[in-house]
């Protein structure tokens, strides 16, 4: 979402993320902003404003202050009434914040006679609302899974709209589920977006589709209502120019490949992601990264039996053993998923099978199918890289939403001239422990140790 909003003309100043690996990757790709490496439940609006002030002043020396010196928000159970904002330290006068956006996880959908916000697993959505109240942005955008709109889960959305109304914000009541394939992304991916505005400001509209799914898509018939819209890029148009990584021994250890090995792009989509063709709707900062190497190309060593089985699987069908889907070159990708975190086994989510090679797709091929430009780098470990992509909003989908927010703000975007240089590439190889030490946070931040409880007999 950070990249999509930047592409729409926004400056992304401060990010909040609990996972140290994700923090380093975000900071590598967006070095102009600050990163607070903690749960949103432990961050105050005052801290975000402190970071914003330092970013605007160009003071990078305290972008990541020591955890021990930060004010923590009160626990959810101790909040009296709805919210109580903490005392804010004296800060320089700052411009208004145009928009806060994010995708706070919500797993607490049990509706057995209690309000959804009583479930502690929904606390991050509560704290998102708290930060909106404390920071008073003009707009906010929430992204989440489509399942929140189904069945009893809709009660949660009704409560959320009611909650924001009590703090002076309106949400478009006719909330929408958007499909990335309708916005130029070669992936069938549906996500809910909630668009909110401070009372008195006009609500942004939802973006209208600009592409339809190709005829080979199982859901293509549903796109008949889209008329004569051009189809979205296909799998082949997205990745055909990328070389077969199995031909390079060096990619067993390194995920970087010289771009001289790339073929000729077969589509405008691939040319734009490679930076060979200008996208007139892209207002992101140019990156002064070297274009001599492409990241995310680390190989996966499959056994001979698996390779033969993958090669024999027909396009668009599922391998009978692994249950991996084999991509059709003239179709689009199924929804890319993140896999489980380390406290749930650190399992990689099933990756699609390449349409022409007997292997799963690489992180870079997944990035192409997610609409990430080639300059954007992910962590060098496949598990980290794939969960970073699977957990993220496709940039072109985020840009479409962000452009609607930008339009109601009234100031047209401008093309920046200043190039941004990334930080140390070594960050993309850090272990979880090294990343946690970098941010001075617990190495168990995303996999807390379980507290031992006494047995009834003790």
Q: Which residues are catalytic, by number?
A: 106
Closest CA to 180 of 1, 377, 50: 1
H or E element at residue 155 = helix 154-166
What is the rounded CA–CA span in Å between residue 344 and residue 341? 5
Cβ–Cβ under 8 Å, residues 141 and 99: yes
What is the rounded CA–CA span in Å between residue 436 and residue 140? 29
Tokens 């997205």 found at: 238
**Spacing of C-alpha 367 from chain mean position:** 12
What is the rounded CA–CA span in Å between residue 288 and residue 231? 32
Closest CA to 193 of 366, 5, 441: 5
CA torsion 408-282-17-344 (nearest 10°) is 120
Closest CA to 132 of 82, 179, 91: 82
Largest CA distance in the chain: 72
């Amino acid at each position: 979402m950070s990249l999509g909003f930047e592409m729409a003309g926004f400056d992304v100043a401060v990010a909040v993320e609990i996972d140290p690996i994700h923090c380093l990757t975000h900071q590598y790709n967006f070095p102009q902003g600050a990163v607070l490496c903690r749960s949103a439940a432990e961050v105050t609006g005052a801290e975000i404003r402190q970071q914003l002030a330092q970013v605007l002043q160009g003071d990078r020396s305290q972008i990541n202050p020591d955890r021990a010196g930060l004010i923590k928000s009160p626990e959810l159970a101790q909040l009296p009434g709805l919210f109580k904002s903490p005392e804010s330290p004296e800060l320089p006068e700052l411009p208004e914040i145009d928009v806060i956006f994010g995708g706070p996880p919500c797993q607490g959908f049990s509706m057995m006679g209690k309000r959804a916000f009583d479930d502690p697993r929904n606390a991050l959505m509560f704290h998102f609302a708290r930060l909106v109240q404390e920071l008073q942005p003009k707009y906010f955008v929430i992204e989440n899974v489509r399942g929140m709109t189904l069945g009893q889960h809709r009660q949660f959305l009704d409560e959320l709209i009611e909650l924001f109304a009590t703090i002076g914000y309106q949400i478009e009541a006719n909330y929408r589920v958007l499909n990335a394939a309708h916005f130029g992304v070669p992936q069938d991916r549906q996500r809910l977006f909630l668009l909110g505005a401070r009372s008195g400001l006009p609500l942004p509209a939802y973006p209208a589709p600009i592409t339809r799914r190709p005829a080979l898509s199982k859901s293509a018939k549903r796109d008949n209502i889209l008329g004569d819209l051009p189809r979205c890029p296909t799998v082949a148009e997205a990745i055909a120019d990328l070389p077969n990584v199995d031909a390079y021994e060096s990619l067993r250890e390194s995920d970087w490949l010289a771009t001289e090995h790339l073929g000729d792009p077969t589509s405008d989509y691939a040319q734009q992601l490679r930076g060979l063709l200008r996208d007139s709707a892209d207002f992101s900062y140019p990156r002064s990264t070297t274009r001599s190497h492409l990241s995310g190309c680390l190989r996966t060593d499959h056994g001979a039996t698996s390779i033969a089985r993958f090669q024999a699987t027909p396009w668009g069908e599922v391998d009978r053993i692994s249950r991996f889907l084999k991509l059709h070159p003239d179709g689009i990708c199924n929804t890319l998923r993140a896999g489980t975190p380390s406290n749930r086994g650190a399992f990689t989510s099933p990756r699609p099978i390449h349409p022409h090679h007997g292997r799963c797709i690489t992180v870079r091929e997944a990035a192409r199918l997610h609409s990430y430009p080639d300059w954007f780098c992910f962590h060098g470990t496949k598990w980290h890289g794939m969960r970073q992509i699977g957990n993220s909003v496709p940039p072109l989908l985020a840009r479409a939403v962000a452009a609607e927010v930008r339009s109601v703000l009234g100031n047209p975007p401008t093309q920046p001239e200043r190039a941004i240089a990334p930080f140390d590439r070594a960050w993309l190889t850090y272990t979880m422990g090294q990343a946690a030490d970098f941010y001075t946070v617990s190495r168990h931040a995303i996999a807390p140790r379980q507290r031992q409880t006494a047995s009834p007999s003790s």
